[in-house]
Structure 1
């Protein structure tokens, strides 16, 4: 049986989700089942307000981050505030929307439950959802382990490719080639003998 996490949303509603998929697919599934607008950006936090930092733009599996069975999670809408600035290109003035710094991101819990969404919960989100020191250490260790595994796989592939190339360069001619060469020599000798016998008879 796969692992599941519990998402608390709406008016104290709950739903089970299987995180054994890419983070983008999990976040899209949460939007669909919880009836959130598909155009909004969301993340998940634990019940103390620490964001999980699930990125929909990577190939990472959500199960690599959500590792606790039946963990209680809260969906968080992320609003990135933008400002308009003037940009002059070829003498033409354009208005561009550019993001502010990271402190100008607003986090909105998509849950109406005062037992979970407490002032301390909101304060943690206001602090940009910074994970605790323990969570940060776990995340750093997980990423380091994944990087080491990728490096080992690459080195193994390179070693194997080099070995195959060296073997191909040093391998002797195949038996079939030697046999074919011997057969051709035998046929030439037989033809020469037959020609000699024919000349002797003619004389």
Structure 2
């Protein structure tokens, strides 16, 4: 099964590789709502084909998929595109194996949608915006305010460069010693939006 959904604007393409289950629907809906174009493949073989055929920008891989480690290694043979894995394993050795064969990061199940979005955007931003490789896309990942979504509690985002992270990273001091919110990436103080509980 290979299901495609796309937003109204040309955007980043995310490939979800997993088994058919309800969590796949949740992930696809969550990513689609924030403007990401999604592809879904069941199983490692279909995942590798979809990766090769669709100019994917990020792979989201369920580590419980049979031969997931092999798929991760195969993708890494010819690509440095971001790979985020998900796992329900409570043993830290399981995600460690995935990281050793090439995953960039992992999330524990059950997935928290705001954290999923934050990790996906962070990986996309790191590779395609901060890394200077913007040739694959028409625009940077949308910020939370662009999509009408809420930031996770205690997080902030910069409207100037779309950097987002925990609010303490944005805390700084003016030259007069006053506490100010400043983006740690672009250093623009007036463009910071943060979530309050």
For normalisation by structure 2, the TM-score amounts to: 0.22
More helix by share: 1
Choose 1 or 2 for highest CA Rg.
1
TM-score, structure 1 length as denominator?
A: 0.21
